[in-house]
Chains A and B, each alone.
Chain A
Amino acid sequence: MIREADAIVVGGGLHGCSAALQLALRGLRVVVLERRHVGRHASGINAGGVRTLGRDLAEVPLSVLGMAYWHRLSELVGDDGGFTPCGQVKVAETHDELAGLEKRALAVRSLGMEHERVIDGDELRRRVPAIASHCVGAMVVDGDGAADPYRATSAFAARARSAGAQILEGEGVVGLERQPGGWLVVGERGRYRAPVVVNAAGAWAGRMASLAGDEFPLKTRASMMLVTERMPPFVEPVVGSVGRALSFKQSSAGTVIIGGGQQGRADLDREQAWVNVANLARSARAAAALFPVIRQARIVRSWCGIEAETPDRIPIIDHSPRAPGIVHVFGFSGHGFQLGPVCGVAVADLVTRGSTTLPIAPFSARRFAAAAKAA
């Protein structure tokens, strides 16, 4: 038996669930196919940073619009996803770094946006008393913050279900066949048909795209995180760094979560990733450089998540260049969590109207056409 739908979403991460929710709210019959379970991969295990600060200029407009969804997440999905607008801070350790931040703030302002602000060392110490004394200033965004990734992703899934979407877990897509008026999606357990297929398969989105005939020059990122045991509260905002790969935040439970993009090793076939200890040690060292007290904290766990990375490190959010009815939304290159809620709207627009007024022009699928041909 073939199950018929108006749209099929491949991937039950935040992006798949967000797209499914928006499509269901517009009255479409949506089926989400998720090979493992909702939030199993990047969306459920990331650092939870909800950050407009310091993004690629091409992403800033969409990211800033996206912030509104986080501030009103309860209205959208019935749960705040653990989101707290605790602010994000990007620390400069030298005057050169601080000058770089000033320059960056100007560039953002020239786009007509005022959210990023540069602060001096005194204000930095007032906001983050535990910061190492040599730090000279920072860039801050006050409305930014952090959320609980698994909880937020689950909330989108639950809300999508209540809006009528069917989310089938434990169903991996193994084939795509073009048919008159749409696509036949072949799963490990069943078959599905719809005029439109949304490719939100995260690290495996390149493989999904290949099934539809699209080739993209993607790499796989395997970003690592570590978490400490609970500590008394000592830092409120999420802290990043200009000169070091670092994201540092204390959860409401008191644990400190340290990431920043140091890389482990991914195996797409086994759907697993392994921590690289030498690289993890660099994260630890970076954290200790900014927060000396953290050297004494005990690490209880480290882990590694997998994601697709594009050559310019910004995503692809677009119709397939050559396969009508396929919409791609992937390649977030390490920072797609914050974009999840707004991208669902963009994808629903692409599916239901063919285009969107949201600022996604930089994320065209065609920008890699030349590279893909050459490859």
Chain B
Amino acid sequence: MSDRPFDLVVIGGGPAGLAAASQARQLGLSVALVDEQPAPGGQIYRAVERAEAEGRATALGEDYRHGLGLVRAFHECGATLFASHQAWQVEPGGRVFATDGKASRLIEGRRVLVAVGAIERPVPIRGWTLPGVMSVGAAQILHKTIGLVPDAGVWIAGSGPLTLHFAAEIVAAGGRIAGILDTAHGRLPETALRHLGGVVRGWRYVARGLGYLARLRMADVRRVSGVENVEALGEGRVERVRWRSGGQWQEAPASGLLLHEGVVPNTHMTMAIGCAHDWDEAQKCFRPRTDRFGMTDVEAILVAGDCGSIGGARVAECRGRLAALGAAASLGVISAAERDRLAGPVEAEVSAHGALRGFLDDLYAPAAELCVPPDDVMVCRCEGITAGRIREAASLGCRGPNQVKSFTRCGMGPCQGRMCGPTVTATLAAALGMTPQEVGAFRIRPPLKPLRLGELAALADAEAGE
């Protein structure tokens, strides 16, 4: 059933996965790359080849064009691409099951690199489940793939580089938005001072951020800073947005609300595999425990890019190359000395691109009430479970998310806790006076994303000769 075992199966064709695949091919490994998107590029360089063909890549920025080089190098490297294939189960020994939407297939690797990127942090505010409220990331995907631009009544609320980046992207594409509600509570000058070294070394990124701001000012986009307690209001869909700033409640009409409070590593796959994870207090998320080369505590499994630790696209690319070195060395293709020699310059690049991380983490740390929402706020949308119900379960003796789930159905719906997981852990930890590490996370079980029963049965149909 399996075509043949590859030396390395890479899951995820973002900067981390693409760079890893090319590097591994250079070292002589046989490589397969699996990505659920129709074309390689990942989150940031999504559909980059199409945008280039349609002449839109320049508008999307210089970074976007950098991605084009990465994608082209990948196409030339001789790796086997399984595009439009979603990996829904990875076994600790290196077997990967993926579906193209019709049937599942087994792709076997001696090593597997998990490079599935980041997901947006959940933003459980009052009214977030109303139609018309969506994440900035989802809106960006609509823009990058089908060129959809939000209408002029849409507000953006949140913090993190992506909110500014996206707003600037929309303005550059000729769109308009109602305004930006900036919830960053780290004060820019103070935070910058505390991370002065990083800010200086990461000046190119800082300059870019300031550039976005300037562009938004020029386009006369309303920007409210120091915003707290954003709420979406409306009957049947979002009609108004309400917030507090400078101690005052304010309200404005809204035809849509886009939320974003930064991204966190997508750890579903590594958790399902059984890799050890640690709580990262700075980024307020779990991440897989790895060495310099992204090797996890499970021998065949490596991690690179934002699913290991949020570092941005350039860092992801470097981490991908390091993981390829790690995989090659662990398969005995190169010596440890050779690996370390090749790793040196890549690691220097990581620290250059990653200089700003501490500053960004501090500036954009999510507000406490977003991690641990008040009682009436919906946490699990699939099953309609509020934060209050989670606290109630805690008071009835539940000591972890899995117990809360058995108790309340929280996390049992189609998304299987992919959305609410971090909020459940944080809420429970706060209620019990424990750390998120002690409380733990939802147990993740296959399939990693909903899979039609027929797509699974196909594996057995094949075996039965159908």
**Which residue numbers of A lie inside 8 Å of B, CB to CB?**
37, 39, 44, 150, 154, 169-170, 226, 228-229, 253, 272, 274-275, 277-278, 280-282, 284-285, 287-288, 294-303
Q: Is the CB of B447 within 8 A of A299?
A: yes
**With the chains together, A272 CA to B274 CA distance in Å?**
10
B174 interfacial contact with A, CB 8 Å: no
**Chain B positions within 8 Å of A295 at CB level:** 452-454, 457
Interface residue from A280, A285, A300 paired with B413 (Cβ < 8 Å): A300
**Chain B positions within 8 Å of A303 at CB level:** 445
Q: Which chain B residue shows the least CB distance to A149?
A: B406
Q: Is the CB of A284 within 8 A of B406?
A: no
Q: Is the CB of A299 within 8 A of B450?
A: yes
CB A189 to nearest CB in B, in angstroms, measures 14
Q: Is the CB of B453 within 8 A of A296?
A: yes
Q: Which chain B residue shows the least CB distance to A150?
A: B406
Check A281/B450 contact, CB under 8 A, given A44-B406, A275-B89.
no
Q: Is the CB of A285 within 8 A of B414?
A: no
From B23-31, B215-223, B433-441, B458-466, the one touching the partner chain is: B458-466
The 10 lowest CB-CB distance pairs between A and B, nearest first, are A295-B454, A281-B459, A298-B450, A285-B460, A281-B460, A284-B457, A285-B457, A284-B456, A150-B406, A282-B460
Check A300/B454 contact, CB under 8 A, given A37-B403, A229-B414, A277-B459.
no
**Chain A positions within 8 Å of B454 at CB level:** 284, 288, 295-296
**With the chains together, A277 CA to B409 CA distance in Å?**
25
B451 interfacial contact with A, CB 8 Å: yes
Give 9 A-B contacts (CB < 8 Å), ordered by A residue. Answer: A150-B407, A274-B91, A274-B274, A278-B463, A285-B464, A288-B453, A298-B450, A300-B447, A302-B447
Q: Assuming A277-B97, A282-B460, A298-B450, what are 10 further A-B pairs, CB within 8 angstroms?
A: A154-B407, A229-B414, A274-B91, A278-B460, A281-B459, A284-B454, A288-B453, A295-B454, A296-B454, A298-B453
Q: Which chain A residue shows the least CB distance to B452?
A: A298
CB B410 to nearest CB in A, in angstroms, measures 13
Q: Is the CB of A302 within 8 A of B445?
A: yes
**Chain A positions within 8 Å of B106 at CB level:** 277
Q: Is the CB of B456 within 8 A of A280?
A: yes
Q: Is the CB of B414 within 8 A of A298?
A: yes
**Chain A positions within 8 Å of B104 at CB level:** 281
B126 interfacial contact with A, CB 8 Å: no
B289 interfacial contact with A, CB 8 Å: no
**Which residue numbers of B lie inside 8 Å of A, CB to CB?**
89, 91-92, 95, 97, 104, 106, 274, 397, 399, 403, 406-407, 409, 412-414, 416, 445-447, 450-454, 456-461, 463-464
**Chain A positions within 8 Å of B460 at CB level:** 278, 281-282, 284-285
**With the chains together, A288 CA to B456 CA distance in Å?**
11
**Chain B positions within 8 Å of A298 at CB level:** 414, 450-453
Q: Is the CB of A301 within 8 A of B445?
A: yes
**Chain B positions within 8 Å of A280 at CB level:** 446, 456
CB B35 to nearest CB in A, in angstroms, measures 20
CB B300 to nearest CB in A, in angstroms, measures 14
**With the chains together, A296 CA to B95 CA distance in Å?**
25
Q: Which chain A residue shows the least CB distance to B406?
A: A150
CB B10 to nearest CB in A, in angstroms, measures 20
**With the chains together, A305 CA to B459 CA distance in Å?**
22
Q: Is the CB of B450 within 8 A of A285?
A: no
CB B329 to nearest CB in A, in angstroms, measures 28
Q: Is the CB of B453 within 8 A of A228?
A: yes
Q: Which one of A253, A280, A303 has the highest number of Cβ atoms from chain B below 10 Å of its Cβ?
A: A280
Interface residue from A44, A275, A294 paired with B453 (Cβ < 8 Å): A294
**Chain A positions within 8 Å of B445 at CB level:** 275, 301-303
**Chain B positions within 8 Å of A284 at CB level:** 453-454, 456-457, 460
Interface residue from A253, A277, A294 paired with B446 (Cβ < 8 Å): A277
CB B452 to nearest CB in A, in angstroms, measures 6
Q: Which chain B residue shows the least CB distance to A280?
A: B456
**With the chains together, A176 CA to B460 CA distance in Å?**
46
**With the chains together, A172 CA to B399 CA distance in Å?**
16
**With the chains together, A303 CA to B447 CA distance in Å?**
10
**Chain B positions within 8 Å of A302 at CB level:** 445-447
Q: Which chain A residue shows the least CB distance to B92?
A: A274
**With the chains together, A287 CA to B457 CA distance in Å?**
9
**Chain B positions within 8 Å of A44 at CB level:** 406
**With the chains together, A275 CA to B450 CA distance in Å?**
16
Check A275/B446 contact, CB under 8 A, given A281-B459, A298-B453.
yes
Q: Is the CB of A299 within 8 A of B452?
A: yes
**Chain A positions within 8 Å of B407 at CB level:** 150, 154
